[in-house]
Structure formats: C-alpha cells, structure tokens
C-alpha cells in the first residue's frame, strides 16, 4: 500500500464499511481466477452458451493428452545423444492429430468472427 494514496482513509467510509470492504477484497484475492465468475456478463455467457465452452474444453483436454503422449513418445524415440527419430509412426500420428485439433479450433474461431489464424498462437493459448 502507498500511504500517500490510501484509498481506505480517503473513501469516507465508516469503520464497519471499511471492514466489509477489506473482507470482500480479501475473499476476491483468495478466490483467484474464479473471481471472474462474479462478473454478471461472464457468468451469463457461460450459462447462456455452454456448448462452445464445452466444445473448447474437450479440445483443450485432448490437446493436453496428445502433448503428454508426444512428450513420452519423444523420449522413447530418442537415441543416446537425445536426437529424436521423427520417422516413428506413432510420433507422426500424434503430431498429425495435434494439427487436426488446432485446425478445428482455428476454423471454429474464424467462423465465430475471430481474426486469429496463427496455429502456434492458438496452440499456446489453449495450453495455458
């Protein structure tokens, strides 16, 4: 807190209102990212349009699983120098499916009006 900018002191709130304010802010900090659900418009979007959220969630989980499987397969396909054999059929199939999922997401985003067409950016954002 910056003492010269103490919003609590200059707010004009009485002690009880200040305690309530502190309690609310503390609760919001403890909630973490879920605090966004307190915003009525965000909550309404999730409730009113669950299908797109469910669709993206399924794709995200699939990408996470495929990425883990690709990581494990890369270790198996590595030689003693750490060089990965990219000709491995399973590794190629995993990469192909990852690309298909990213393409599906990209197409859906374009259909919904997004201008994002960078597949790597989409992949990175989904995995965040």
Q: What is the pLDDT of residues 71-89, one digit of tens each?
A: 999 999 999 998 999 999 9
What pTM was computed for the model? 0.60
Structure tokens at 51: 């299908």
56 and 113 both lie in a single domain: yes
Q: Is residue 6 part of a domain?
A: no
Q: Which domain holds residue 73?
A: 49-126
The DSSP element (H or E) to which 94 belongs, if any, is helix 89-111
**54 neighbors 29 (Cβ within 8 angstroms):** no
Q: What is the pLDDT of residue 35?
A: 80
- Are residues 27 and 65 part of one domain? no
70 and 103 part of one domain: yes
Residue 69 lies in a domain: yes
């Amino acid at each position: 807190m910056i003492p010269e900018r103490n919003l609590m002191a200059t707010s004009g709130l009485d002690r009880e209102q200040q305690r309530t304010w502190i309690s609310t802010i503390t609760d919001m900090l403890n909630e973490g990212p879920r605090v966004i659900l307190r915003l009525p418009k965000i909550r309404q979007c999730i409730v009113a349009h669950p299908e797109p959220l469910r669709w993206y969630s399924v794709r995200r989980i699939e990408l996470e699983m495929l990425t883990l499987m690709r990581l494990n397969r890369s270790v198996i396909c590595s030689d003693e120098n750490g060089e990965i054999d990219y000709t491995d059929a399973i590794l190629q199939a995993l990469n192909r499916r990852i690309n298909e999922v990213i393409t599906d997401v990209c197409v859906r985003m374009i259909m919904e009006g997004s201008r994002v067409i960078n597949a790597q950016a989409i992949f990175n954002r989904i995995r965040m």
